[in-house]
Structure 1
Amino acid sequence: MGLFDGILGNATDIKHEEVKKELSAVLMPDENIDLAFKLVRDLIVFTDYRLIVVDKQGITGKKVDYKTFPYKSISRFSVETAGHFDLDAELKIWISGAVEPAQSLQFKKDKSITQIQQALATAILK
């Protein structure tokens, strides 16, 4: 079901070892992965220090945009769940001092949005 969920745009859990290998050049030596989700080709990774959003671009996915959000800089976030006619759930993240969201992620009628919301709340409200 994981591959099918990924194709549909649903976030699926991904093994931490796999993510650690893929992000070896990005992670600090003592940084641990708490949660990781795959959204088609993109990743949403919660570490003990920050949120990392990995956006693979282009047809081959060789061009990659790594966005880091230290938990202390996230001022707020919102989650809009999917409805009957609007099938997309959406997560928006604001950083301190910004009027517009720094990151917006869309999910297709996804149950992982609840787990992602809880992880984000736990990380920024510590």
Structure 2
Amino acid sequence: MAGFNFNNFLQGAMGNYSEKTIDELNQEYGMYLFEDETITMGFQLIRDALLITSLRIIFIDKQGATGKKTSFKTIFLDSVINVEMETAGVGIDDSEITITFIENAYQKSNNELLREATFEFPKRTDLTEIYRVLGNISVNNRERINR
């Protein structure tokens, strides 16, 4: 387990994710991955985590006082259709990534259910790579869905 980082703790207390190494994430969450799934990047929020894998975005919510009860929520990458990025300004502003995704399993229906998820990151976090990765995925998904 990595040592305590006070800055990461403060960012987490403020609702901001801090980037973790793939090795750290694999050690803690590797057992929950599907067959042939790999972690490409991930972030920690005190006890909770946000992982981006080769198949999905995983929200890990450790609940209760002990954190033993854990909720895993998934957004499959093939359902992501839009991504927005807001960089931090002057002062105490944080950066944000907002993704829009199709909640329906059948994506070519006439009744799409769209949802959004927004994540805040510390001002110092460079969101360019996550924005580009998710942006490329959304472009490919739009092309595939609209064929």
Whether contact under 8 Å (1:8, 1:108) holds in the other structure is no
Distance change >3 Å, CA 62–CA 114, structure 1 → 2: farther
Structure 2 residues not aligned, in runs of 5+: 103-111, 141-147
Aligned Cα root-mean-square deviation (Å): 2.5
Give the strand-richer structure, 1 or 2: 1
Number of aligned residue pairs? 124
CA deviation string 1:22-42 (max 9, x = no partner): 224421132111112223322
What do residues 28-74 of structure 1 show as CA deviations (whole Å, max 9, x unaligned)? 13211111222332222121111112122333322322121111101
User: Unpaired segments of 5 or more residues in structure 1?
Assistant: none
> Which TM-score applies when normalising by structure 2?
0.67
Q: 1:84 to 1:46 in 2, by over 3 A?
A: same
The residue aligned with 2:79 is 73
* Superposition misfits of 4+ residues, deviation over 6 angstroms: none
Which residues of 2 match residues 1-126 of structure 1 at below 5 A? 3-9=5-11, 10-85=16-91, 87-96=93-102, 97-101=112-116, 103-126=117-140
Could you tell me whether the CA contact under 8 Å between 2:37 and 2:55 is conserved in 1? Answer: yes
**Compared with structure 1, are the counterparts of its residues 120 and 85 closer, same or farther at alpha carbon in structure 2 (3 Å cutoff)?**
same
**Residue identity opposite 2:27 in structure 1:** K
Q: Percent identity among equivalent residues?
A: 31
- Alpha-carbon shift at residue 86 of structure 1 (Å): 5.2
Please, what TM-score do these two structures have when normalized by structure 1?
A: 0.76
Rg larger for: 2
Q: Is the 8 A contact 2:18 2:122 kept in 1?
A: no
Q: 2: CA distance between counterparts of 1:13 and 1:44?
A: 9
